[in-house]
């Protein structure tokens, strides 16, 4: 029998113990490192990423990006969740029409003269006229939800009637209603019923247009005693974005969250919204009224001057009326005025908690009894960004209320007008050019892939010839797409520039918001309208994935 070596045996045992100790030490050290990271980790600054990445990060929405710096985030009316807030009126469907027809059949006596009474003059008040239009609209405008019809009135000829209705587009999830009015020519159908022989274009039924309210704004042209009073502009009576007054007595009853202006000012609109919704979300978490500054500084990327422009009104871009309905807010000027009046008229000042660092979490402020919680953002960037409040542990408690933010109805009226003029039956193509097309290092093929010849070649495969084709683009040269006109009825945003010109409803309404001064239809408004029309196309062609093999965010980012 072979005897064991008394020297090697302890060495083997010691080696095994050493390896075990090393493995255990590595395990303990790994756990320690992981624990430190978990405690101290802060999410990366999202504004170091591109705006397209932010769009996906924030909303998981579709690509609506024309340039890195001026993409459009989807807002509350784009998400189905908002439907739960206010159910809409029962839409007009085939079942509803059939039920109406059955009622008419049982209540209307049969005429002895047969169809003769229908041939000479159309009785526009006959309910069968309305049914004929309802059937026609459902058959022709399949992308529209018809909500209600108004009174039918006579057209310009005996066989014509003008009719108005309210509707929404199926791709817009809000319950906001838009209005159209058209002229219809009628003939006689089967069983002595009316049928639509011809339908007019968008807003052709001028006799059915309800006069909109006019507002005297005291504007005058010229000067001196001979100054002429400008006619008061029209106003959409469904828009109520006036600033609520905050009385002195009401001021003391409230509890407020006030954010001082920070480094977010003059940043891109996506940054502004991400921060604004953080503040509004914290106010909801704290059950406080959020003090809101309606003044926006529009970043240089949206302006032809390539300079930041202050003094833009929030209401130019977003729906203030809807925001007032779903969130507790007060306008900053009203709030500061009420605060000042209270301090002047009372010996005891308003209880105020000043918070100088975003690191004071919303959870720490939950039980604070002060009338005003005043967050101040005086630190250097990026410590002075509002959205820092919602990072870290706070992200588990603060929900950004996307449902509260809708796009301005004034802009959406323009979107509906453009879509309606194309009879809601058009295709769209999104052509990204601009700085990306010039940057051959990141997008080596984009310029050539979006050249007129290549565009025509690729669109022939995806879009039927002679369809209405709306091109949403940041290409500055209007005639760049002329070659496509040989195969398609091409439309660009600038084809509709009278919708924001100095005789337009939009121009008059925004001028009222701006104390009688004209408002520029700026770059952000252009992209917002362009994007919304793009989404309404029946066939939609995107630059990336459809027109070019280049990656959306540059080389190696696909």
Q: Is the pLDDT of residue 467 over 50?
A: yes
Q: How confident is the model at residue 449 (pLDDT cuts 50, 70, 90)?
A: very high
C-alpha 140/C-alpha 172 separation (Å) is 19
Who contacts 181 (Cβ-Cβ below 8 Å, separation ≥6)? Answer: 162, 163, 164, 165, 203, 204, 205, 206, 208, 209
Do the beta carbons of residue 213 and residue 197 sit within 8 Å?
A: no
Residue 44 DSSP SS3: coil
Q: Is the pLDDT of residue 185 over 60?
A: yes
Q: Which residues of 180-219 are buried (b: 16+ CB within 10 A; e: fewer)?
A: bbbbbebeebeeeebebeebbebbebebbeeeeeeeebee
Determine the pLDDT at residue 106.
Answer: 79
Who contacts 425 (Cβ-Cβ below 8 Å, separation ≥6)? Answer: 468, 538
Structure tokens at 59: 């909303």
Q: How confident is the model at residue 481 (pLDDT cuts 50, 70, 90)?
A: very high
Residue 19, H or E segment: helix 8-40
Residue 507, H or E segment: helix 505-513
Determine the pLDDT at residue 213.
Answer: 52
Determine the pLDDT at residue 542.
Answer: 95
Cα–Cα nearest to 327, from 256, 404, 403: 404
Q: Is the pLDDT of residue 7 over 60?
A: no
Residue 229, H or E segment: strand 228-229
Determine the pLDDT at residue 25.
Answer: 73
Q: Is the pLDDT of residue 126 over 80?
A: yes
Q: Is the pLDDT of residue 46 over 50?
A: no
Determine the pLDDT at residue 64.
Answer: 30
Least confident of 45-59, 258-272, 479-493: 45-59
Structure tokens at 258: 């006030």
**pLDDT above 70 covers what percent of the chain?**
79
Over residues 108-135, mean pLDDT: 76
Q: Is the pLDDT of residue 307 over 90?
A: yes
Do the beta carbons of residue 543 and residue 62 sit within 8 Å?
A: no
Tell me the per-residue pLDDT of 213-246, one tens digit each, with 9 for 90 and over.
Answer: 554 443 333 333 444 444 444 456 778 889 988 8
Q: Please calculate the CA angle 39-44-46 and round it to the nearest 5 degrees.
A: 145
Do the beta carbons of residue 399 and residue 81 sit within 8 Å?
A: no
**pLDDT above 90 covers what percent of the chain?**
62
Q: Is the pLDDT of residue 331 over 80?
A: yes
427 pairs with which residues across the strands?
A: 469
* pTM of the complete model: 0.81
Determine the pLDDT at residue 209.
Answer: 87
For 123-260, strand residue ranges (E) read 144-149, 153-154, 160-169, 178-188, 194-199, 220-221, 228-229, 256-259
Compute the half-sphere exposure of residue 219: CA atoms within 13 Å on the CB side of its CA: 17
Least confident of 107-116, 284-293, 353-362, 459-468: 107-116
**Helices (DSSP H) in 286-386: which residue ranges?**
314-317, 320-326, 332-345, 362-365
Structure tokens at 454: 């290549």
Who contacts 98 (Cβ-Cβ below 8 Å, separation ≥6)? Answer: none
Average pLDDT of the chain, as a whole number:
84
Q: Is the pLDDT of residue 4 over 60?
A: no
Determine the pLDDT at residue 43.
Answer: 40
- Break the chain into its structural domains and give their ranges: 94-208, 248-404, 409-541
Residue 524 DSSP SS3: helix
Q: Is the pLDDT of residue 5 over 70?
A: no
CATH number corresponding to 248-404: 3.40.50
CB count within 10 Å of CB 248 equals 12
**Helices (DSSP H) in 41-174: which residue ranges?**
51-59, 94-107, 116-119, 127-140
Residue 248, H or E segment: helix 248-253
């Amino acid at each position: 029998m072979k005897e064991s070596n008394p020297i090697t045996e302890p060495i083997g045992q010691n080696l095994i113990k050493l390896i075990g100790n090393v493995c255990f030490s590595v395990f303990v050290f790994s756990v320690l490192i992981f624990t430190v990271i978990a405690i101290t980790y802060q999410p990366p600054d999202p504004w170091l990423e591109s705006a397209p990445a932010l769009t996906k990060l924030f909303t998981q929405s579709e690509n609506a990006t024309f340039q890195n710096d001026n993409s459009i985030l989807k807002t509350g009316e784009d998400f189905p969740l908002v439907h739960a807030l206010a159910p809409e009126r029962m839409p007009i469907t085939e079942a509803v029409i059939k039920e109406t027809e059955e009622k008419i059949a049982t209540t209307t006596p049969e005429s002895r003269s047969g169809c003769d009474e229908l041939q000479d003059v159309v009785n526009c008040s006959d309910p069968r006229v309305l049914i004929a239009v309802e059937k026609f609209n459902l058959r022709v405008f399949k992308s529209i939800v018809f909500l209600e019809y108004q009174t039918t009135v006579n057209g310009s000829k005996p066989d014509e009637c003008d009719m108005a209705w309210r509707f929404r587009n199926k791709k817009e999830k809000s319950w906001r209603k838009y209005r159209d009015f058209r002229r219809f020519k009628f003939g006689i159908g089967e069983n002595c019923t009316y049928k639509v022989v011809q339908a007019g274009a968008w807003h052709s039924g001028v006799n059915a247009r309800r006069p909109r309210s006019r507002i005297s704004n005291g504007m005058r042209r010229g000067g001196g005693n001979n100054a002429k009073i400008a006619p008061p502009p029209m106003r959409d009576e469904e828009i109520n974005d006036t600033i609520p007054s905050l009385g002195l007595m009401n001021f003391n009853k409230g509890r407020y969250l006030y954010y001082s202006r920070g480094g977010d000012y003059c940043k891109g609109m996506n940054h502004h919204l991400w921060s604004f919704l953080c503040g509004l979300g914290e106010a909801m978490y704290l059950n406080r009224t959020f003090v809101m500054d309606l003044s926006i500084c529009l970043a240089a990327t949206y302006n032809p001057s390539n300079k930041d422009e202050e003094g833009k009104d929030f209401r130019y871009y977003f729906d203030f009326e809807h925001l007032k309905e779903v969130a507790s807010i007060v306008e900053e000027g009203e709030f500061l005025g009420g605060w000042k009046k209270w301090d002047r008229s009372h010996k005891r000042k308003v209880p105020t908690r000043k918070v100088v660092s975003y690191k004071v979490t919303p959870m720490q402020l939950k039980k604070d009894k002060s009338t005003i919680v005043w967050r101040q953002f005086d630190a250097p960037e990026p410590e002075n960004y509002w959205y820092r409040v919602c990072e870290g542990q706070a992200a588990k408690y603060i929900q950004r209320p996307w449902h509260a933010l809708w796009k301005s109805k004034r802009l959406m009226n323009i979107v509906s007008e453009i879509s309606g003029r194309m009879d809601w039956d058009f295709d769209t193509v999104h052509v990204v050019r601009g700085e990306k097309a010039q940057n051959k290092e990141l997008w080596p093929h984009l310029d050539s892939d979006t050249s007129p010849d290549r565009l025509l070649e690729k669109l022939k495969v995806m879009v039927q010839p002679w369809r209405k084709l709306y091109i949403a683009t940041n290409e500055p040269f209007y005639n760049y797409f002329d070659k496509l006109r040989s195969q398609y009825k091409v439309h660009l945003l600038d084809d509709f520039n009278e919708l924001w010109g100095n005789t337009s409803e939009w121009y008059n309404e925004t001028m009222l918001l701006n104390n009688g001064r004209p408002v520029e239809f700026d770059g952000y408004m252009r992209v917002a309208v362009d994007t919304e029309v793009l989404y309404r196309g029946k066939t939609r062609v995107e630059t990336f994935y459809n027109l070019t093999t280049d990656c959306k965010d540059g080389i190696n980012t696909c």
